[in-house]
Structure 1
Amino acid sequence: MTRSDPPPPPPPPVAFYAPMKAPDHPVPSGDRQIARGLMAALGAAGFAPRVACRFRAWEGRGDPVRQARLRRAGLWLADRLADSLARLPPERRPRLWFTYHLYHKAPDWLGPRVSARLGIPYAVAEASRALKQKHGPWADGFAEADAALTRADRVFAMTARGACGVAPVAGDRLVRLAPFLSDPGLIDPATVDRPAARAALAAAHGLDPGRRWLVTVAMMRPGDKLASFRLLAEALRRVGEGPPWTLLIAGDGAARAEVEAAFAGLPVVRLGALDPPALRDLYGAGDLFVWPGLNEGYGMVYIEAQAHGLPVVACDSGGVADVVRDGDGGRLVPDATPDGVAGAVVAVLADDALRVDQGVRARRKAAAEHGLERAADTLGAALGPLLPA
C-alpha cells in the first residue's frame, strides 16, 4: 500500500447469537466449542463477529409456562436490542445477524425480529428439525424454529442428517458447511513431539510405553455419553489376543462414578479434564482413538484426533459418518455393538502397517476437508453476496 492508497475498509460487523449456549458460557461443551469455531471462521472470512446477546432460550422439560415466559422475555429483548443497535454509528452497526444452533427446545426469538428491524440479512447454522416435535410439549418452539428457517437468507448445515432435516424448509438457501477444527490450542498438530509427549505421559502416570495406547476424549455425563462409555468398556472386554494396550481417558463430569464402574478391572488410566495443549500432546502420543459416539452430532474429537495422525474407531451413529470414513483414517463400525467395536480395535491394533497408514490418511483427510480456511471460504462465499456494496 502506498501513501496515496486509501486504508482498507473495516471488516463488516456481524451479530452472533447462540440461543442454546453462548460462546463464552462458563461450562465447557461441544456446543460451546462449535460456537467459538464459527466465530473464528467468520473472522477468518473477513467479518467482525460479536456476541449480540447471551439470552438462553433453552427449555428442556416441555414446560409450557416456562416456554411462554422465555418467549415474552426473548421478544422484549429483541426490541430493546434492535433499538440499541440502531443507535450505533453506521460503521459499528451489524450488517448481518448469525444464529447458531436453534431448534424446538431453543428457538431464536431474537434474530428474525432484530434483523427485520435493522434491515440486515439473517443467517442460521446447525438448526435441527425433528418432525415428531411438531405436535407435543415443544410445538410452539418447533413452529418458531421453522419460522426462523423460512425467514433466513442462508441456512448452513454441517452434517448430511442436518441438511436432510432442514432442506424442506430451507430450499435453495441451504449451504453445506463441513465440520472443522478451530481451537488454536489444537490447530497445529505438527508442533507435537511424539517421543517427548509419550515419555512425559509415561512418567506422569506410570504408563508402559511398550503398550499400545488407546485414547478416548469425552464428557462424562448421563445419556448418550454414558451409553458410549459403557459400550466401549464392554467392547474392550472382548478384545482378546493381540498387543497389550492401555486406555487413556480424558474427560470428567457428573457420570464419572458410573464410567469408572463400567471400566473396573480393565487397564484404564483416567486423566481428567485436559486443556487444549495437554489434549494435543495426548493425541500426539496415542496409537488409536476409540469412541463409539452414539448419536453424536458429528464429534469434534474425531477431527482433532485425525488431525494429529491418530486413526479412529467409531460407530456409524448420528452424524459421525460426516467426519469419519471407513478405511480412510480409521474404521467406521456399521453396527453399534460390543463385538463390532472390539473387532475393529483388534484389526487396527494387530497390524502396525495398517495403523500407520490409517494415521497418515487421517492427518491428510483432516487437513483437506476440516480446516478453518475451508470453513472460512464457505462462509465468505455464501454470506458476502448478501451484504450491500
Structure 2
Amino acid sequence: MKILFYTPFKPLHHRNPSGDLVTATGIFDFLVQGGHEVIEASNLRCRWIYWKPWLWLKYFGEKRRILQKFGGACADLWFTYHSYYKAPDLLGPAVAGRLKIPYVIFQGIYSTKRRRQWTAKPGFYLNKSALRKADHLFTNKSVDLLNLKRLVAGNRITYVAPGIDPGEFEFDDHARAELRQQWNVGDVPVIFSAAMFRSDVKTEGLTWLIRACGELDRQGQSFQLVIAGDGRQREALQQLAHQHVADRVRFLGKIARQDMYRFYSAADIFVFPGIRESLGMVFLEAQACGLPVVAFDNAGVPEAVADGQTGLLVPMYELKPFVGAIKRLLIDNDLRRQMGAAAKSHVRQFHDIKTNYRELELTLNSIVNRRS
C-alpha cells in the first residue's frame, strides 16, 4: 500500500518526545518494515489551530500542496494518528475526499465534555466531523473505544492494544552490574522513574514520587531513588528532592530511548504516578525489562499494568497507599521478583507491537481492498 501518514498534534520528528509520538513512530516504522510505502504527508501542527488564524493560511497552502503532489500518484490510504479537540485533523478528511481514497484515524478521541468549554468547543466539532468522516477508527484505549461507539457504528472501530518491541527492552545483567557500581548502591533496592520535566502532570507526578520517598526515608526504609529526564522544572525538582531525600536521589538527565533498557535493568522497581497518562509507554518498557510497577490507578495506566500481577495501582492523590505500595515491593523480595517476571511475560504476551500491529495491517488491507 501507498500510505499518506499524518500526525496533527506534532510532526514525527518533533524535538520534544512523548508517548504519543513514540506510538506514531512505531506504527510508521512497522508499516515501512512491512513493505508499504509510507509518506509523511505534512508537518502542519493543528494544536489550537481554531484560535490561530495564521495557521489557517498554512492549512490551505498545505492542502493545495498535497493535492498537487499526490493528485495523480495513486495513494491507497490516508492514515491520521491522533485527532482530538486540541489538534483536530483538518487535512485528512479534505485530502482523502478529494483523492477518493479511504481515510482512517488511529487514536481518535471523542470527549463530549469539551463542547461545554468555550475555548475547546470549535475543536470539539472539528474533531467530531473528522471522526464521522473516517472510514475506520482505531484506538488503543478501552475508554476511548466506549466513547467512540457513541458516535459511530461499532463495526467501524477496532481496538489495538498499546505495544512496544520487547526486543528493544531486554534485561541486561552486565548493564545492571556496571550502573549499580557507578551509583555505589550495592544491594540497596533502586527505585527508578523517568519523565520529561515539563510544567504539567509529568512534574506533578515526580513531585508525588519525591514526597513519597521522603516519607519512606523518615520511616527508615533503605532505597536509592534514580530519576531519568530533563526539562524546565529540573531545578525545582532537584530542590524538592534535596529537601525530602537529600543523598538518596540521583538525577541522570535525559536518556536516549534506545539506552533506557540499561537503566531499567539496573533498577528494582519502576515508580511513576502517571497522572492522566494517555498510554504510559514507560510502564511497558519497564515491565519488559522485568520491573514491577507502582502507579496511580487512572487514565491509560491500567491499559499497560495488570494490577496485583505486574504491579500495584493505588487510588489517585492518596499518599499513604502510594507509600505503602512502594514499601511493600521494597521489603518483599519474593513479591518483587514474582511481579517482575509476570511483567516481562505480560508485555510479550499482550503488548508486542509486531503482533498487535499485524492486526492493524490486516484491517488496513481489507479497507483498501473494499474501496478498490
Aligned residue for 2:108, secondary structure, equals coil
Contact 1:44 / 1:376 at 8 angstroms: preserved in 2? no
1:319 aligns with 2:286: no
Amino acid at match of 2:313: L
Q: Does 1:259 align with 2:248?
A: no
Alignment length (residue pairs):
364
- Which of residues 148, 154, 173 is equivalent to 1:166? 148
For residues 304 and 180 of structure 1, the distance between their equivalents in structure 2, rounded to whole angstroms, comes to: 9
One of 348, 364, 369 as aligned partner of 2:329? 348
Change (3 A) 1:327 1:359: same
Number of the residue aligned with 2:210: 233
Kept after mapping to 2: 8 A contact 1:217/1:249: yes
Q: CA deviation at 1:73?
A: 2.9
- Letter paired with 2:37: A
CA distance in 1, matches of 2:336, 2:205: 23
3-state SS of paired residue (1:354): helix
Checking the alignment, whether the CA contact within 8 Å between 2:172 and 2:261 is kept in structure 1 is no
1:51 equivalenced with 2:35 (yes/no):
no
Moved more, 141-150 or 44-53: 44-53
1:293 aligns with 2:278: no
| Superposition deviation, residue 193 in structure 1 | 2.8
TM-score by length of 1: 0.88
Query: Is residue 157 of structure 2 the alignment partner of residue 179 of structure 1?
Result: no
Is 1:199 the counterpart of 2:182 in the alignment?
A: no
Aligned equivalent of 1:3: none
- Of 60, 65, 76, the match for 1:95: 76
CA distance 1:379–1:45, change in 2 (3 Å): farther
- 1:1-389 aligned within 5 A: 12-44=1-33, 46-59=35-48, 64=51, 66=52, 68-88=53-73, 93-135=74-116, 136-172=118-154, 173-182=156-165, 187-190=167-170, 192-194=171-173, 196-204=174-182, 206-239=183-216, 241=219, 244-264=222-242, 265-266=244-245, 267-388=248-369
Contact 1:242 1:350 in 2 (8 A): no
In structure 2, C-alpha distance between the alignment counterparts of 1:163 and 1:236, rounded to whole Å: 36
Shift of 1:46: 4.9
Q: Unpaired segments of 5 or more residues in structure 1? A: 1-11
Deviations 1:264-304 (A, max 9, x none): 24111000101134311011111000001111002000000
RMSD: 1.9
* AA at the equivalent of 1:30: G
Q: Distance in 2 between matches of 1:236 and 1:37?
A: 34
Q: What's the secondary structure of 2:43's corresponding residue? A: coil
Could you tell me whether the CA contact under 8 Å between 2:196 and 2:231 is conserved in 1?
yes
Code of the residue aligned with 1:164 in structure 2: it is L
- Unpaired stretches in structure 2, ≥5 consecutive residues: none
- More divergent stretch after superposition (78-87 vs 266-275): 78-87
Q: Which is worse superposed, 267-276 or 29-38?
A: 29-38
**What is the TM-score of this pair, normalised by structure 2?**
0.92
Counterpart AA for 1:291: F
The 3-state SS of whatever aligns with 1:271 is strand
* Whole-Å separation in 2 of the counterparts to 1:189 and 1:101: 25
Q: Distance in 2 between matches of 1:36 and 1:288?
A: 27
Whether the 8 Å contact between 2:276 and 2:300 is mirrored in structure 1 is yes
Relative to its length, the structure with more helix (as a share) is 2
